Amino acid sequence: MADDKLKPEEILNVSYEPADRDWLTPTAVFRKGTYSYSAPLKHQKYLDLPNQREWNPADADWKLPENWKEIILEGMGRLLKRHRSFKLYLDICVRCGACADKCHYFLGSGDPKNMPVLRAELLRSVYRRYFTVAGKIFGRLAGARDLTEDVLKEWFYYFFQCSECRRCSIYCPYGIDTCEITMMARELLNLVGCNIQWVVEPASNCFRTGNHLGIPPHAFKQTFEFALDELKDLTGISIDAPINRKGAEILFVAPSADYFASPHWHTFLGYLMLFHEIGLDYTWSTYASEGGNFGLFHSSELAKRLNNKIYAEARRLGVKWILGGECGHMWRTIHQYMDTFNGPADFLEEPVSPITGTKFDNARSTKMVHITEFTADLIKHDKLKLDPARNDRWKVTFHDSCNPARAIGLFAEPRYILQNVCNHFFDMPENTIKEKTFCCGSGAGLGADENMEMRLRGGFPRAHAVKYVKEKHGVNMVSCLCAIDKASLPPLFEYWVPGVEVCGVHELVGNALVMKGETRTADLRGEPLAQAEEPTA
């Protein structure tokens, strides 16, 4: 960690009361720890992105094309014609300030340009200058400013300090969604080749290999073999995990971190155990080996290009419907974009649980079901034998990941599961969960290590709420439904609230699941099971 030197009290030496100055003057300073590296040339090339070059945000010269200004303004005009959200949200903000202290980056940094209203004004000021009468006539008096290279750099700095979590949007009286503004700003930055490594590289990997981590099919197969060996050791059961199997009923798609990173891995084991135990007729895919979609953090076009694989693979394998794993922005893409991008999925069937017969009516068009919807239904129908006492060493809270919360409204399903698989569950304070949940600070492609200071700042409100339940209830485990959370929360908590661990919901399901013919002495982390008595329920 580059900023081990910064102590929490130093980081928090911030004020929410900005000085009265003129924000129209661009101020971005590319200080180490607060920005992400630029996209590597190799991956720019692989995705055919514009203005391919090696460049560095900290350099004075960004090697922009000569007519960069025209490109941006022309692009802005095009986006205004294509997105009502963009046009409307640039027009109707009254600057009431309700959003100001809702952004986790503002709360962690005190930088006024991280107030959602001002973040949007960075773009709005240029919109006014070139697209509105008042801005053309009155200039700065009307809050309008010229598009200069410094303004562009400021955009890059601050629109890659927004994790598109949409928390501000729920407080806005008009629903102005900074995520939309940020998406448009990033679309514009892309036009002149300004994007970051942590977005472009996973997207490029995903385009080529089917997943963000760039795992080729044979390595994919290998990690499954490791997992199945591990499960054999843990449970004594030989589990099968079909890959690329034609004719399966269900295609299962999870974020690639689940089968490669930690603590995601334990969630992955949980899935495999669950599917084995209920005898699900399903398959994994190496081609569609990624549920997440870093294209979404780049442009709607790239999001669509990456998302295409899921339906294409479902069609090729001839499955009936698709089940999706624990991931945040993946579920924003699937719930709100996939059908529009690459539908209609008329070659699939309306999802029905083969175990309970429950029809997932809410997914009847997209034909993709969230795993917590699926598992909650199993538990409700008493199809799983669960021993929540096996999770007794954990006092659990649930971090609502931004996208499943504010895109889907997925609140009750995971909580129902958690309350059935563990005995000690405590929610964090009401204004930090559900629709008011705080981002981990690393969403929307901002999870790079070089950006650690901003991540720690942005994650502070979430960590603070965890600290609250830790002190009040002794919470030592935060469960969540997002691969980025699982990657970014452990270092965040290590910094702000040591002693709290992170897991997926299905890790706890896997622990509690009493399998037929099992011999279990350890949980999925290899720790001795809390107890090995007769299951209670």
Partner 1 sequence: MNRMWIALIAVLALIIIPWVGVGAAGLTLLFGVGIPYIACLIFFVGFIYRIVSWAQSPVPFHIPTICGQQKSLPWIKANNRESPHSYWGLFARMALEVLFFRSLLRNDRAELKQRQRLIYSSNRFLWAGGLLFHWSLIIVLFRHLRFFTEPVLPGIAFVQNLDALFHVGLPALYITDVAIIVGLSYLFLRRVIYPQMRLISLPSDYFVLLLIIAVVLSGVLMRHFFKIDAEKAKELALSIASFRPVIPTAIGLPFYIHLFLVSILAAYLPFSKLMHAPGVFFSPTRNLKNDSRARRHINPWSYPVKVHTYEEYEDEFREAMKEAGLPVEKE
| Residues in 429-488 at the binding interface with partner 1, rule: CB under 8 A | 429, 431, 435-436, 460-461, 464
Nearer to partner 1, 36 or 204 (CB): 204
Smallest gap from Cβ 437 to partner 1, in A, equals 11
Classify residue 34 by its DSSP letter.
S
d(CA 253, CA 258): 10
Binding string, 254-283, against partner 1, x = CB under 8 A?
A: ------------------------------
Nearer to partner 1, 54 or 301 (CB): 301
Neighbours of 137 (CB within 10 A): 10
- Structural tokens at position 433: 């969960």
d(CA 428, CA 178): 25
d(CA 331, CA 424): 27
* Residue 146 dihedral angles phi and psi, to the nearest 5°: -70, 150
d(CA 125, CA 221): 51
**Strand boundaries in 469-526, DSSP class E:** 477-480, 501-504
Among 189, 200, 248, 334, binds partner 1 (CB under 8 A): 334
Q: Does 218 bind partner 1 (CB under 8 A)?
A: yes
Site for partner 1, residues 407 to 426, rule: CB under 8 A: 407-413, 416
Smallest gap from Cβ 145 to partner 1, in A, equals 12
Reduced to 3 states (helix: H, G, I; strand: E, B; else coil), residue 321 is strand
Q: Does 141 bind partner 1 (CB under 8 A)?
A: yes
Site for partner 1, residues 222 to 261, rule: CB under 8 A: 222, 243-246
Smallest gap from Cβ 188 to partner 1, in A, equals 16
Smallest gap from Cβ 395 to partner 1, in A, equals 22
Which residue shows structure tokens 């750099």?
153
d(CA 126, CA 433): 35
Q: Does 366 bind partner 1 (CB under 8 A)?
A: yes
Q: Does 377 bind partner 1 (CB under 8 A)?
A: yes
d(CA 512, CA 531): 11
Nearer to partner 1, 244 or 451 (CB): 244
- Asked if 325 and 291 touch (Cβ cutoff 8 Å), the reply is yes
At 463, which helix (H) or strand (E)? helix 452-473
Nearer to partner 1, 332 or 520 (CB): 332
Site for partner 1, residues 114 to 133, rule: CB under 8 A: 115, 117-118, 121, 132-133
Q: How does DSSP assign 338-385, residue by residue? A: IHHHH---TTS---B-TTT--B-GGGTTT-EEEHHHHHHHHHHTT-S-
Which residue shows structure tokens 């929360």?
489
Nearer to partner 1, 119 or 393 (CB): 119
Nearer to partner 1, 58 or 137 (CB): 137
Q: Does 505 bind partner 1 (CB under 8 A)?
A: no
Closest CA to 284 of 231, 341, 223: 223
Among 55, 62, 86, 425, binds partner 1 (CB under 8 A): 86
Among 65, 139, 216, 535, binds partner 1 (CB under 8 A): 216
Residue type, 412: A
Site for partner 1, residues 307 to 326, rule: CB under 8 A: 308-309, 312-313, 316
Nearer to partner 1, 91 or 229 (CB): 91
Closest CA to 333 of 310, 314, 317: 310
> With CB under 8 A, what is the number of residues at the site for partner 1?
120
Nearer to partner 1, 222 or 521 (CB): 222
Give the pairing of strands 250-253 and 321-324.
parallel
Q: Does 17 bind partner 1 (CB under 8 A)?
A: yes
Q: Does 492 bind partner 1 (CB under 8 A)?
A: no
Site for partner 1, residues 159 to 198, rule: CB under 8 A: 166, 169-177, 180
* Residue 193 dihedral angles phi and psi, to the nearest 5°: 75, 35
Choose the binding region for partner 1 from 100-108, 189-197, 273-281, 520-528 (rule: CB under 8 A). 100-108
Smallest gap from Cβ 391 to partner 1, in A, equals 22
